[in-house]
Amino acid sequence: MTKELISFDDFQKVDIRVGTIIEVNDFIKARIPAYQLKIDFGTLGIKKSSAQITQLYSTKELLNKQVIAIINFHPKQIANFKSECLILGIQNEKDVILLYMRKNAKNGTKVS
């Protein structure tokens, strides 16, 4: 399904950045299995995110992985956890395949 067309100005409002996952924990209170992540965005700080990616990724595999995330959404309360950014991925049936960096970039680098 195609979404409505947006302007380039609309796209520029979305702040997409590179960050490194520095902590991964099981999100025990989540209704659907998920992880609680802490992601380092360099000078932009450390942000938390909830991610339902437990089927394809282990905690060990996620640690120190550079991911791509939207960092300017309003925080979302999920159970007892406040998610501050949205890591990006591709929906593959019921699983999510992360978009991530194949080569390292500086944390906080803007994606354009």
Give the residue extent of every domain in the chain: 14-98
pLDDT digits (tens, 9 = 90+) for 49-64: 999 999 999 999 999 9
Domain 14-98 has CATH 3.30.565.10: no
Can you tell me the distance from the alpha carbon of 80 to that of 67, in angstroms, rounded to the nearest whole number?
24
pLDDT of residue 93: 85
Whole-prediction pTM value?
Answer: 0.93
Which ranges of the chain have pLDDT less than 50? none
The runs of H, that is alpha helices, within the chain are: 8-12, 59-62
Dig out the tokens for 90 from the structure: 């591709």
Instruction: Note the pLDDT of residue 104.
Output: 93
What CA–CA distance (Å, rounded) separates 111 from 66?
13
The helix/strand/coil state of 15 is coil
Query: In angstroms, rounded to a whole number, what is the distance separating the alpha carbons of residues 3 and 31?
Result: 28
Predicted pLDDT at 92: 87
Q: Residue 74 has what pLDDT?
A: 97
**pLDDT value, residue 97:** 94
